[in-house]
Structure 1
Amino acid sequence: MSKELSQMSLEELWTLFPIILKEHNENYKQWYDEEESNIRSFLSRKEISRISHIGSSAVKGLLSKPTVDILLEITPDTAMSEISKILCQNGWTLMNTQMTPYLSYVFNKGYTKDGFAEKVYHLHMRSAGDWDELYFRDYLIDHPEVANAYGYLKQDLLSSYKHDREGYTEAKTEFIAHFTKKARELYGKEK
């Protein structure tokens, strides 16, 4: 994010970057593949445990924000702060660092002073683990009726939360938690 954007208030940022929902774009997979390859080009194999396409853009046919979400899992002996520096040197912007309940760094790419670029990414960097996002993604892929219900929920929430990302995310939490629990019961293995 440019210096101009980093000086904006949260309300100004939400106005410039509202929640937008679009029909599934067949290019999301290609965009993910390109960015995964890009990340692998500047991080070593010993630092990466796994890279996954997560979020609604990973589910074919699902209404979603036009954002490709990526989960980057780092090996336990790798310093996340060092990987963060490397990511920032390679075009990613650190948006948030969360310490609890687990260490997580969130980056973005595709946010400009004029709004969203054509390709927008969110990168979630964590230690290798058993992450809910993978269960939820796979459950939506395997259960199109639940994916459709999730799309309708997001559409219903849009009018109330278009300029409130935190509220929008919080309003989806109960649905996501319910089906993530079902996924963990169904799949019964580490993702």
Structure 2
Amino acid sequence: MPTDFFVRINHIGSTSVPNIWAKNIVDILLEVKDYCAMERVKGLLLDHGWRCMNETKKRASFNKGYTDAGFADRVFHLHLRLYGDCDELYFCDYLRRHPEIARDYERLKLSLWKKFEHNRDGYTEAKTDFIKKYTKLGKSEFTGTDRYPKS
């Protein structure tokens, strides 16, 4: 993929946070510079076997590794966003810097696992308040740093 389309790429999600339990899914955040780049990258991803799971004007989510028989050995979620639309990165960075909060998140995820094992939307919804709280704290802590310049 030509690098002039994107601004940065980051490993996000639980597998990016040390010392907590995570499902065998790697989440990737790919930030692009503008809408034109977003359209080009979407086309390239689809041409290379990624499946679009959902899409809005400003965001798209893709995956690789789901099969008719279930999960493959490796599963990837790719979150395509415009540069600066990176709440997941704030959240992960906050968890990395605050291991006690990361362990709280691990406990929350494990408590929800069986209840929502076959209901991804319910599982995501049940984590939302926790994620929003620590994303907000991450924005307070990290905005204005080299990684998160002020807009």
TM-score by length of 2: 0.90
**For residue 177 of structure 1, what is the aligned residue in structure 2?**
132
Deviation track 1:112-169 (CA, whole Å, cap 9, x = no partner) reads 1111111100000011114111111111111111110000001111122111100100
State the AA in 1 paired with 2:77: H
**For residue 115 of structure 2, what is the aligned residue in structure 1?**
160
**For residue 23 of structure 2, what is the aligned residue in structure 1?**
65
**1:1-191 alignment runs, 5 A limit:** 43-76=1-34, 78-99=36-57, 103-189=58-144, 190=148
Aligned length: 146
Whose strand proportion is higher, 1 or 2?
A: 2
Equivalent-residue separation in structure 2 for 1:160 and 1:168 (angstroms): 8
Unaligned runs of 5+ in 1: 1-42
Equivalent-residue separation in structure 1 for 2:17 and 2:129 (angstroms): 19
Deviation track 1:10-34 (CA, whole Å, cap 9, x = no partner) reads xxxxxxxxxxxxxxxxxxxxxxxxx
Deviation track 1:71-130 (CA, whole Å, cap 9, x = no partner) reads 11111263423321211111211111123xxx1111000001111111100000011114
Equivalent-residue separation in structure 1 for 2:48 and 2:103 (angstroms): 36
What secondary structure, in the 3-state scheme, does the structure 1 residue paired with 2:130 have?
helix
Contact 2:8-2:30 at 8 Å conserved across structures: yes
State the AA in 2 paired with 1:156: S
State the AA in 1 paired with 2:83: A
Equivalent-residue separation in structure 2 for 1:117 and 1:80 (angstroms): 27
Percent of residue pairs bearing the same amino acid type: 45
State the AA in 2 paired with 1:110: G
Equivalent-residue separation in structure 1 for 2:130 and 2:81 (angstroms): 23
State the AA in 2 paired with 1:48: F
TM-score by length of 1: 0.72
Deviation track 1:21-56 (CA, whole Å, cap 9, x = no partner) reads xxxxxxxxxxxxxxxxxxxxxx21211111110111
